[in-house]
Amino acid sequence: MRALKYAILGLLCRKSMTGYELSKEFNYELAEFWYANHSQIYPELKKLSDEELVVFDVEITGDILETKRYTVTDLGKSEFNQWLHKDEKIPRTPKDPFRLRMYFAHNLDCQARLHLLDNQKMQHVKRLNSLKKTFEQYPSTPSKDSDRFGDFIVLRGAIMREEQNIAWIDEVISYCR
Amino acid sequence: MRALKYAILGLLCRKSMTGYELSKEFNYELAEFWYANHSQIYPELKKLSDEELVVFDVEITGDILETKRYTVTDLGKSEFNQWLHKDEKIPRTPKDPFRLRMYFAHNLDCQARLHLLDNQKMQHVKRLNSLKKTFEQYPSTPSKDSDRFGDFIVLRGAIMREEQNIAWIDEVISYCR
DNA sequence: TTAAAACATGTCAAACATAACATGTTTTAA
DNA sequence: TTAAAACATGTTATGTTTGACATGTTTTAA
């Protein structure tokens, strides 16, 4: 499937970027639905370059520091657009290590169970608050054709996901009392 | 982290099982939060056996078909229980290829976008209905100490997750019109 | 009786992902 | 001026996951 390939091509369709900049995207904004670290990104960029889906220019920062700025080619744009139109079967539900633990919860006494649940809830609440803070920066829904639309909807999705996670934990807590 | 190891140990704590039976668990019930296919399970069972966390007896089905029934040892039980008590940092949000696509939605015209969204929604509705059907088989909430409690809460979680997925898609559809 | 489905256990190659190793430059703020 | 943080690009080892290859037996239903 090579999702990383298309994630990179999509980002480069917006604007030319360096590997380092791409890496930051995956570790911050995009992280709500995709991530990759630099040890995956640099080799993938090389591959895309070999396939002539991207090209790069070398820039000099300061005196000698070289950085490669990648730009998507017409071929790259075309492959990206083809992928973008594809209907997809929904994947298997993603793995969830906490739910795996809770699946075996009957082996835990009430106190231990509530301890784990409270800890998870706290973390999800924290994440939700940070997402909400980011969301406040949108004064209104961006136009459905602006490139901020994508950011907006996935942010809304992340908020809904966290709210749902918390609601589930609350429900389990109520069963345990 | 070796989550599969603990998933298998947890299942074997309930009752002794063969690799084939474990495999079915991962491809049906457990699939809402964890999955693994037999090509992972058989090697893992061998490893657990080498580590003396499980033992097996060979049974004969029919005339000659050999099956290995695995049982967790005291050491296995102890390691499983240690793992079960562990507080865990919530992992990164799981990857979601459809949200990745929608992140780049501004490159698609309205019709193509709605086509993809409708298609995804349909699949999630289908999955939700099948989950709800399974849920109906629970006349009431199982006791929090029975081993059906785990099944019950993760099933509730799966239903909530699908409802949230559908709600998100509906919201995005409404923005696109 | 026979064909299909289910049972049953394994290996292997490729892809994907993570963390650590490796090396250096530039900017910022104390 | 100097130390820390951020910038910048790579490789390597390890572990996880998937899908295909491989081989056979037993049960069920047409």
Instruction: Determine if residue B143 is left, alpha or beta; phi over 0 gives left, psi from -120 to 50 gives alpha, anything else beta.
Output: beta
pLDDT at A127: 97
Name the nucleotide nearest A65; use CA and C1': C25
Average pLDDT (B91-110) is 97
pLDDT at A4: 98
Which residues are registered as beta bridge partners of A65? A61
Say what the pTM is: 0.96
**Listed residue (B44, B49, B43, B42) closest to B71, CA to CA:** B49
Which residues are registered as beta bridge partners of B17? B70
At A112-168, the pLDDT tens digits run: 999 999 999 999 999 999 999 999 999 999 999 998 999 999 999 999 999 999 999
Q: How do beta strands A54-61 and A65-72 pair?
A: antiparallel
DSSP 8-state assignment for residue A139: S
Confidence category of residue B29, pLDDT binned at 50, 70, 90: confident
Q: How do beta strands B54-61 and B65-72 pair?
A: antiparallel
Query: Quick check: A105 and B153 in contact, CB under 8 A?
Result: yes
Average pLDDT (B101-114) is 96
- B167: chain A residues, CB-CB within 8 Å: 160
Report CA-CA distances (Å) from B3 to A155, B16, B36, B39: 29, 19, 11, 16
pLDDT at A29: 86
CB-CB under 8 Å, A96 with B94: yes
Contacts of residue B59, defined as CB under 8 A and 6 or more positions apart, other chains included, come to B18, B66, B67, B68, B69
Average pLDDT (B97-126) is 97
Is residue A13 predicted with pLDDT exceeding 90?
A: yes
Cβ-nearest to B33 among A34, A93, A156: A93
Q: Which of residues 134-163 of B touch strand C (CB under 7 A)?
A: none
Ramachandran angles phi, psi of B64, nearest 5°:
-135, -10
